[in-house]
Structure 1
């Protein structure tokens, strides 16, 4: 590393020492878990091989989040009071056992009961609420509420030349995995599921089947990493997939600095979200910060809203996928990204609940198509008007010709 760059990194905290926090948003992946869905020929498909049921948080996962909670307490101890209060923090989780349990484990590390909050001398823990919503009804954090327009765009993406080339490139891999696993594998997501299962089994020191030597990890890793980029591969996909969560982040920041008394109940110091590796990747994609990888257990995205002595409010983005958090720099903005710039850079993917409901409908017409339809309507209307004008002129001309040819008129009979 360049000595000047190193010096800047070392001195950067000193420059911001007098700056103060206004709010912190924390989004993390759950901790260590068992495989969600072992493949049909998996030698470790029986639950007897595992400490808990499939897809469940293990004791290792609980400890990972307990430690993350302590790390957060150490980092934000001067900002977030030691004593829990519902006025300081709001925690939300997807409606999945492993994310809910991760949230509770994290809070156990973040809030050790003190004083009057000690309710049982034998238990160094206190219950703290974690809010959730059924997955199929949650478009914000679970991101699984049905959105026809998003599904249509995904279908179009997979039919694109780029993804057809990917399918052709890995056709033999898909066929090989299908043969060896007993499960039909024909896309990126299915490959990632098998890769993830093998990764966990290897992590637990199980001997992998001999056939895996040919494709794991090297042959599958690139696709597994790519799979986390696919849900937000375009900005329109990102807007429909992650835009509601980004909108919520921005609303929290505005609430934190609002002087409106009506926002006092909404104002929190920390907003915490317990979710999945896909959620972490989606948020990083929305921020244009995702580098192809598989987000590890307890990986964490942090948004810090701060202000300096001049009153300038700015956002720091950090990504913790190991022991320490790494500060990230948004494209087209400095590391201490001014709040107004941060909001402007994310405007293309930010969406409100009403807009999301409207834009998810399949009868929604995109601007380009609407413009083309307007042009066609104008051209059609003009053509019809010209045709009618032509017909009227023909009618008039024909009528005039007939009258000019009629030279004899019968006079009325005088007797009548």
Structure 2
């Protein structure tokens, strides 16, 4: 797993004179549980203000819709001298995963980022304007939601969990998994399934709901460390990161490259509305993930600047605190060329991703170098042996009985 370099600072606004381009990636706001567990005393929808997995109001705790509205206003203040208050499709682009909570978070965020001004006011009684949000079905999305099926990734993650480190975790948690399975009524046999259960309990305590006695024995102390660790696994290795966040970083690098070249039609500000796992994966890919569950509305900001040359600054806002993020192998003021070089093994276009995700035959057989040599030699020997037999058979077929060559009349021979 990659290393971590973080420094905490308070930042409310930035100097935008040298800014060329910005990428913002944020998690949605407060939501209800996605799917309560079978024995959950609060599995009845009547306990919740909205349906399961939906964005909430709860503005009194600055969560949900209000949380993202305020984040939008914060982004407006931060980039006041860079991003015009007058919305233009030539400056700004926003993409969201195809989930209600991320789409609604994006809408609330835009309400704070782009309140209508002057000729964009279409109804004085409504301080809001419609702004496009781009998305695509989750199961077809290999850019942001990353839920499009990738057989190669599936194989690599399966292999990861068979390594001694993760096998040891499973052994260590055997009794905990069994306890959770018995009491929750659902199979808990992995870090991912444990995190889902932990997240449900977290939301219920956030809403001041009393957990069952069996849950209070293990929540939060015995569950949180493993739930946090689950966020590091999707991009644990470089190969996994390439297939999980490669297309997104391809788009980010292309965006910044266009800014350095001042490409016609370049949009200087791109925003992405996504999930906690997206935040974790992006940080982990850059070698800057401090193991934790990214909170609601946590935000990554990548800023391309021009000084003596182009360089990239990265920030992470996981609460009211904004942290400087230093990508592994680079300074905080990361030269753009170095930034591109560091990501080169990860970056992959969406079309390349589609090809690379397909499993070739050799991925089904886990052979070491010696085994490959042995099998290749055996295969070559078989081909040579088969070819030799065929050549002998052809020669014998042309040989007449008795071994004497027969006379064959040519077309020009005269008949006596």
| Matching residue within 28, 33, 45 for 1:35 | 33
Partner of 2:289: 290
How far off is 1:354 after superposition?
Answer: 2.7
Partner of 1:220: 223
How far off is 1:158 after superposition?
Answer: 1.5
Any stretches of 5+ residues in structure 2 without a counterpart?
A: 1-6, 58-62, 392-416
Secondary structure of residue in 2 paired with 1:350: coil
| Matching residue within 282, 297, 322 for 1:325 | 322
Q: TM-score, normalised by structure 2?
A: 0.84
| Matching residue within 44, 47, 68 for 1:46 | 44
Written as runs of structure 1 = structure 2, the 5 A alignment for 1:101-120 is 101-120=104-123
Tell me if 1:92 matches 2:95.
yes
Distance 1:218 1:147, change over 3 A: same
Q: What is the CA RMSD across the aligned residues, in angstroms?
A: 2.7
Partner of 2:172: 169
Contact 2:198 2:219 in 1 (8 A): yes
Contact 2:29 2:55 in 1 (8 A): yes
Contact 2:234 2:281 in 1 (8 A): yes
| Matching residue within 202, 210, 213 for 1:210 | 213
Partner of 1:303: 302
Whichever of the two has the greater Rg, that structure is 1
Distance 1:114 1:325, change over 3 A: same
Tell me if 1:278 matches 2:267.
no
Partner of 1:58: 56
User: How far, CA to CA, are the matches of 2:131 and 2:177 in structure 1?
Assistant: 45
Tell me if 1:24 matches 2:22.
yes
How far off is 1:364 after superposition?
Answer: 6.3
Partner of 2:398: none
Distance 1:369 1:336, change over 3 A: farther
| Matching residue within 340, 343, 350 for 1:343 | 340
- Counting matched residue pairs gives 376
Secondary structure of residue in 1 paired with 2:223: helix
User: How far, CA to CA, are the matches of 1:335 and 1:205 in structure 2?
Assistant: 41
Partner of 2:139: 136
User: How far, CA to CA, are the matches of 2:225 and 2:312 in structure 1?
Assistant: 32
User: How far, CA to CA, are the matches of 1:97 and 1:130 in structure 2?
Assistant: 12
TM-superposition CA deviations, 1:119-169 (whole Å, max 9, x none): 111111111110000000001101000100111111111222211111110
How far off is 1:209 after superposition?
Answer: 0.9
Secondary structure of residue in 2 paired with 1:116: helix
Distance 1:384 1:189, change over 3 A: closer
Distance 1:139 1:383, change over 3 A: closer
Distance 1:142 1:257, change over 3 A: same
Tell me if 1:316 matches 2:319.
no
Distance 1:365 1:20, change over 3 A: farther
More helix by share: 1
User: How far, CA to CA, are the matches of 2:96 and 2:211 in structure 1?
Assistant: 33
Contact 2:33 2:53 in 1 (8 A): yes
Any stretches of 5+ residues in structure 1 without a counterpart?
A: 1-7, 393-416
How far off is 1:75 after superposition?
Answer: 0.6
Secondary structure of residue in 2 paired with 1:318: strand
| Matching residue within 142, 145, 149 for 1:146 | 149
User: How far, CA to CA, are the matches of 2:8 and 2:301 in structure 1?
Assistant: 19
Distance 1:380 1:48, change over 3 A: closer
How far off is 1:377 after superposition?
Answer: 3.9
Contact 1:299 1:320 in 2 (8 A): yes
TM-superposition CA deviations, 1:305-326 (whole Å, max 9, x none): 0001x3x000001000011321
Partner of 2:396: none
Contact 1:358 1:364 in 2 (8 A): no
Q: TM-score, normalised by structure 1?
A: 0.84
User: How far, CA to CA, are the matches of 2:8 and 2:293 in structure 1?
Assistant: 27
Partner of 2:257: 254
Higher relative contact order (CA 8 A, sep 6+): 2
User: How far, CA to CA, are the matches of 2:333 and 2:374 in structure 1?
Assistant: 46
How far off is 1:279 after superposition?
Answer: 0.5
Contact 1:19 1:307 in 2 (8 A): no
How far off is 1:376 after superposition?
Answer: 5.3
